[in-house]
Amino acid sequence: GAGLVPACNRDGSVPTGSDKACAYKLVFQSRSGPPAQPWLGPDVRDYLRDLHGLGAKEVVLAPIGFVSDHMEIIYDLDTEVLSLCQELGLKMVRAETVGAHPSFIKMIREL
C-alpha cells in the first residue's frame, strides 16, 4: 500500500530521515482521437518502461488531471498500467483523486 514510497515534500525534496529519492515526471494517459493524430507525451506506459530500464523498483501515480475516479482512471491506470507494472516487477501505488473530500469541496465553495 501507501508505505511503499515516502511522501515527497511539495518542492519535490525528500522528507528528513528518508533514504529514498523522490523524483517526479509529468506523463500522460488516455489518448483521444484518431491514432494517426499526435497526442500528448510522454505516455505513462513508455515512461514506466524507461524507469524500469533505469532500475526503478517503485512508482506512485497521481492522476492530477482528474478530480474523481472514473473509467479513464480505473481502466487505464488501475487495470492496464497496473498490469504493465506487474509484468515489469515495479511496485505501483496510485494516489487517490480528491473526489468529494471535504477540504476540496470547501475550496470550491470559497472560489
- DSSP letter at 33? S
Q: What does the block give as the cell for 76?
A: 487505464
For the chain, domain boundaries: 2-110
pLDDT at position 3, please? 36
pLDDT at position 24, please? 76
pLDDT at position 39, please? 81
Chain position carrying cell 525528500: 14
Class of domain 2-110: alpha beta
pLDDT at position 18, please? 63
pLDDT at position 8, please? 63
The pTM (predicted TM-score) of the whole model is 0.74
| Sequential pLDDT tens for the chain (111 residues) | 333 344 566 666 666 666 666 677 889 887 777 878 888 888 999 999 999 999 999 999 999 888 898 888 899 999 999 999 999 999 999 999 988 889 999 999 999
Buried b (16+ CB within 10 A) or exposed e, 54-92: eebeebbbebeebeeeeeebeebbeeebbebbeebebeb
Where does residue 44 rank: exposed (0-12), middle (13-18), buried (19+ CB within 10 A)? buried
